Amino acid sequence: MKTIEHIAIIMDGNGRWAQQRGLYRSRGHQEGYETAKKIVKAVSALKIPYITLYAFSTENWKRTTEEVGFLMRLIKKHLRAEFQFYVENNIRMIHIGNLSALPKDIQKEISDVTEKTKHHAGTAVVFAINYGGKDEIIRALQKIPADKINSITESSFSEYLDYPLPDVDLLIRTGGEKRISNFLLWQTAYAELYFTDTLWPDFTEDDLHQALQSYKHRDRRFGGIT
Ligand code: FPP
Q: Indicate which residue's Cα is closest to atom 8 of ligand 1.
A: 55
Residue nearest to atom 6 of ligand 1 (CA): 55
Residue 133 domain boundaries: 6-217
Contact status, residue 96 vs residue 55, Cβ threshold 8 Å: no
Please state the domain count of the chain: 1
Mean of pLDDT over the chain: 95
Residue 207 lies in a domain: yes
Q: How confident is the model at residue 1 (pLDDT cuts 50, 70, 90)?
A: low
Q: Report the alpha-carbon distance of residue 214 to residue 2 in Å, rounded.
A: 11
- The per-residue pLDDT for range 12-48, each reduced to its tens digit, is 999 999 999 999 999 999 999 999 999 999 999 999 9
Q: How confident is the model at residue 200 (pLDDT cuts 50, 70, 90)?
A: very high
Answer whether residue 223 is part of any domain. no
Task: Tell whether 108 is covered by a domain.
Answer: yes
Q: Is 92 in the pocket of ligand 1 (CB under 6 A)?
A: no
pLDDT band at 219 (very low <50, low <70, confident <90, very high): confident
The answer to whether 150 and 120 have CB atoms below 8 angstroms apart is no
Residue 53 in contact with residue 128, Cβ under 8 Å?
A: yes
pLDDT at residue 67 in the model = 93
Q: What percent of the chain has pLDDT over 90?
A: 90
Helices (H) and strands (E) in the chain, counts: 8, 6
Residue percentage of the chain with pLDDT more than 70: 99
Any domain includes 163: yes
Question: Is 33 a pocket residue for ligand 1 (Cβ < 6 Å)?
Answer: yes
Q: Is 126 in the pocket of ligand 1 (CB under 6 A)?
A: no
Q: What pLDDT digit, counting tens, does each position of 94-129 carry?
A: 999 999 999 999 999 999 999 999 999 999 999 999
Q: What CATH number does residue 26 fall under?
A: 3.40.1180.10
Mean pLDDT of 133-138: 98
DSSP secondary structure letter of residue 165: P
